[in-house]
Amino acid sequence: MKKKIKKSSSENKLSKQGLKNIFDAFTKLKILIIGDVMIDTYLFGTVSRISPEAPVPVVSIRKKESRLGGAANVALNVQAMGATPILCSVIGADSEGDVFLDLLREQNLSQKGILKSRKRITTKKTRIIGNNHQMIRIDDEVDMDISKEETSQLLLRISTLIKHDQIDAIIFEDYDKGLITPKLIQQIIKISRKKGIPTIVDPKKKNFMHYKGVDMFKPNLKELKEGLKIEFNHYKLKELNKITNEFRGDQKIGTLLITLSELGIYINTDEKQVIIPAHIRRIADVSGAGDTVVSIAALCLALNLSPIVMATLANLAGGLVCEYVGVVPINKKQLLQEALNTGIAK
Catalytic residues: 291
Distance of CA 72 to the CA centre of its chain: 9
Q: CA dist 141 to 21, 37, 48, 122, 296, Å?
A: 42, 11, 31, 7, 28
Q: For residue 299, how many C-alpha atoms fall within 13 Å in the half-sphere facing its CB?
A: 30
Quickly count: other Cβ atoms within 10 Å of residue 107's Cβ.
15
Cα separation, 73 vs 78, in Å, equals 9
